[in-house]
């Protein structure tokens, strides 16, 4: 039996979302065609757009469908930067957090390298929460040069929920638009686009029980974006391309259910998460729980448990657990086969060794107490074996 504890990477598709998608797969019709089949496809898309808008608290015309979170982040960051700079060449600065997902960090790096953007990554505290005083100081140093601010709603590694309302207040005081990547937040904590005050928000399907390859950028009608893709002018003329009606139908169904069931799901996940953390710490007392110790929904995602195991390599722990049928993720990224310390943990003040010895266990709608029990049974022996392997490896590297 496989124990799946990696819902933050992707979560199993909901039966209702699969049904909504497959119901459209046998239909023919381009949603931009004027004949009956095209109009039928367009009706599916627009009804789905209305469903997503109701669930996330925006107007239907503010939903721009994309291929997922990465494209939506790129459209928000590049589209806003180009548009703002075109209207005011002095707008060259982009402010973001040091713990963003690479779907934000990499486009920012590209903009700095290729488009002369001045990217400033604002630091975080020991639990991964944005330093609001540092953000305020950076804005007030020269507000007229800031093109946009981008801060994720909740961190994908340690689960810390960011103070989005305060970020919006600071930025809007100077007329600066705010983008947030809410990929991890939807379905886990309450998310309302209009109430949040943000100007653009990224969401995706496969994190909420929908299909892969579909997501959306919610963007206020008055916000101007420069398109990344040019062609048929679909999606407000900022995201050209033939519209994927079946995937959109599945995404809308998942979005509606994720938001509807969020309160009950969050309660259940928080209880499982707390039991998992307490059980791991009882079996491995030297382990460290990362992220905000306040488990309230306004501080931390209910399905996230992130722990550091001193003396262990996260990759070794992951593979040893995987051999026992338990799937989770490491707290580090792997680039070209070379383990790298998590930039999130480094930004939180951890050293390189601590940052490489961490695991993320993320829970979702299929998680059970039996899943937690299986992990708790395995974690002690796995840590002992990983620690022994690490000691042997380090001994072999010592000079003679």
H/E/C letters for each residue in the chain? CCEECECCCCCCCCHHHHHHHHHHHCCCCCCCCCCHHHHHHHHHHHHHHHHHHHHHCCCHHHEEEECCHHHHHHHHHHHHHHHHHHHCCCCCEEEEECCCCHHHHHHHHHHHHHCCCEEEEECECCCCCECHHHHHHHHHHCHHHEEEEECCCECCCCCEECCHHHHHHHHHCCCCCEEEECCCCECCECCCHHHHCCCEEEEECCCCCCCCCCEEEEECCCCCCCCCECCCCCCCCCECCCCCHHHHHHHHHHHHHHHHCHHHHHHHHHHHHHHHHHHHHHHCCCCEECCCCCCCCCCECCCEEEEECCCCCHHHHHHHHHHCCEECEECCEEECCEEECCHHHHHCCCCHHHHHCEEEEECCCCCCHHHHHHHHHHHHHHHHHHHHHHHHHHHHHCCC
pLDDT of residue 294: 80
Q: Which of 6, 5, 45 is nearest to 251 (CA)?
A: 45
pLDDT of residue 396: 58
Tell me the CB-side half-sphere exposure of residue 24, using CA atoms within 13 A. Answer: 28
Give me the phi and psi of 146, to 5 degrees please: -90, 120
pLDDT of residue 1: 85
pTM attached to this predicted model: 0.95
CATH, domain range 15-260: 3.40.640.10
| Distance between CA atoms of residues 61 and 64, nearest Å | 8
The residue from 58, 255, 312, 334 that is catalytic is 334
State both tokens at 167. Answer: 């970020």
* Torsion angle (degrees, nearest 10) of CA 233, 237, 240, 242: -60
State both tokens at 159. Answer: 């689960």
CB 119 within 8 A of CB 96: yes
pLDDT of residue 400: 37
Burial of 106 (0-12, 13-18, 19+ CB in 10 A): middle
pLDDT of residue 399: 45
Q: Each residue's pLDDT tens digit in the chain (400 positions)?
A: 899 999 999 999 999 999 999 999 999 999 999 999 999 999 999 999 999 999 999 999 999 999 999 999 999 999 999 999 999 999 999 999 999 999 999 999 999 999 999 999 999 999 999 999 999 999 999 999 999 999 999 999 999 999 999 999 999 999 999 999 999 999 999 999 999 999 999 999 999 999 999 999 999 999 999 999 999 999 988 999 999 999 999 999 999 999 999 999 999 999 999 999 999 999 999 999 999 988 676 899 999 999 999 999 999 999 999 999 999 998 655 544 556 789 999 999 999 988 999 999 999 999 999 999 999 999 999 999 999 886 765 555 554 3
Assign domain 262-397 to a CATH class. Answer: alpha beta
Per the annotation, the verdict on 255 as an active-site residue is no
pLDDT of residue 395: 59
Give me the phi and psi of 130, to 5 degrees please: -55, 140
Q: Which of 226, 221, 255 is nearest to 240 (CA)?
A: 226
Same fold, 15-260 and 262-397: no
pLDDT of residue 340: 79
Question: Cα Rg for the chain, rounded, in angstroms?
Answer: 22
Q: Where do the domains of the chain lie?
A: 15-260, 262-397
Find all residues with CB under 8 Å of 167, minimum gap 6, and list them: 130, 132, 135, 149, 151, 178, 180
Residue with tokens 């990983």, as numbered in its chain: 386
């Amino acid at each position: 039996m496989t124990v799946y504890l990696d819902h933050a990477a992707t979560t199993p598709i909901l039966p209702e979302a699969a049904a909504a998608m497959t119901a459209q797969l046998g239909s023919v019709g381009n949603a931009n065609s004027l004949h009956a089949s095209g109009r039928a496809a367009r009706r599916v898309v627009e009804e789905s757009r209305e469903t997503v808008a109701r669930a996330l608290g925006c107007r239907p015309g503010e939903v721009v469908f994309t291929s997922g979170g990465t494209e939506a982040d790129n459209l928000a960051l590049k589209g806003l930067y180009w548009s703002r700079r075109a209207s005011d060449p002095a707008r060259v600065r982009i402010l973001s957090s040091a713990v963003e997902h690479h779907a934000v960090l990499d486009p920012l790096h590209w903009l700095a390298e290729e488009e002369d953007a001045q990217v400033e990554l604002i630091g975080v505290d020991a639990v991964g929460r944005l330093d609001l005083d540092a953000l305020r100081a950076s804005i007030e140093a020269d507000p007229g040069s800031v093109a946009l601010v981008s801060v994720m709603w909740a961190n994908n590694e340690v689960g810390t929920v960011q103070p989005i309302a305060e970020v919006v207040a600071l930025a809007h005081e100077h007329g600066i638009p705010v983008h947030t990547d809410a990929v991890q937040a939807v379905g886990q904590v309450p998310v309302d686009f209009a109430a949040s005050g943000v100007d653009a928000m990224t969401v995706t399907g496969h994190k909420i029980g929908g299909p892969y390859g579909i997501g959306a950028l919610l963007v206020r009608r008055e916000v101007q974006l420069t398109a990344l893709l040019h062609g048929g002018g679909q999606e407000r003329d900022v995201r050209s391309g033939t519209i994927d009606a079946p995937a959109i139908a599945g995404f809308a169904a998942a979005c509606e259910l994720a938001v509807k069931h969020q309160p009950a799901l969050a309660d259940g996940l928080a209880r499982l998460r707390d039991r998992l953390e307490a059980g791991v710490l009882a079996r491995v007392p030297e382990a460290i729980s990362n992220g905000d110790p306040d488990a309230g929904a306004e501080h931390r995602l209910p399905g996230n448990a992130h722990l550091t195991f001193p003396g262990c390599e996260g990759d070794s722990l992951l593979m040893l657990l995987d051999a026992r049928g338990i799937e989770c993720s490491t707290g580090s990224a792997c680039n070209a086969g070379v383990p790298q310390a998590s930039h999130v943990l480094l930004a939180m003040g951890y050293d390189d060794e601590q940052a490489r010895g961490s695991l993320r266990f993320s829970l979702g709608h299929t998680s059970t107490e039996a899943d937690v029990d299986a992990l708790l049974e395995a974690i002690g022996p796995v840590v002992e074996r990983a620690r022994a392997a690490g000691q042997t490896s380090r001994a072999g590297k010592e000079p003679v």
